[in-house]
Every structure is written in structure tokens, then in C-alpha cells.
Amino acid sequence: MTPYDIYKKWEADLSYVAPEEFGVMMAKTSRAITACEDVFDAHGPNTDAGAEAVEVLQKLRAFEKELRLRRES
């Protein structure tokens, strides 16, 4: 599974979660981040998969940060 596939699956999974379900969204986001980190660790930064992983990780971590801020509000 490529990082883009992981991201698309994560997006699809979140589309079925109610906006107030922070715990579920955090769990799904955490799993997606771990999966992308595994891809990056397996392929390294100088490959297409590694570059995709970096791009997807940035998006996922930005969402995770936004989610944490919304939960604290």
C-alpha cells in the first residue's frame, strides 16, 4: 500500500466519523501516521515511496495538530 493509498483510505474512514468524535479521529489519524512512517522507514527518503510518505505525513500531522487544538478549545 502506497502512502497515497493510506491517505485516501484515511480520508474515506474519516468521512464516516462524526465531527465530535475526537478519539476516533485521533486513533485513525495515528494509525495512518504509523503506516506512513513504516513506509518511509522501509524505503528511505530518496525513493518515490519515501517522498510520498513525507508529503502525506505532513498533511496527516497538520490535521492531527488541528484536531488537538480543536479538542482543547
pLDDT per position as a tens digit, 35-73: 999 999 999 889 999 999 999 999 999 999 999 998 887
Q: What pLDDT is recorded for position 71?
A: 85
Which pLDDT band holds residue 15 (cuts at 50, 70, 90)? very high
Provide the 3-class DSSP secondary structure of residue 46: coil
Distance CA 44, CA 25 (A): 28
Instruction: Answer yes or no: is pLDDT of 34 > 80.
Output: yes
Instruction: Answer yes or no: is pLDDT of 24 > 90.
Output: yes
Distance CA 55, CA 22 (A): 24
Which pLDDT band holds residue 14 (cuts at 50, 70, 90)? very high
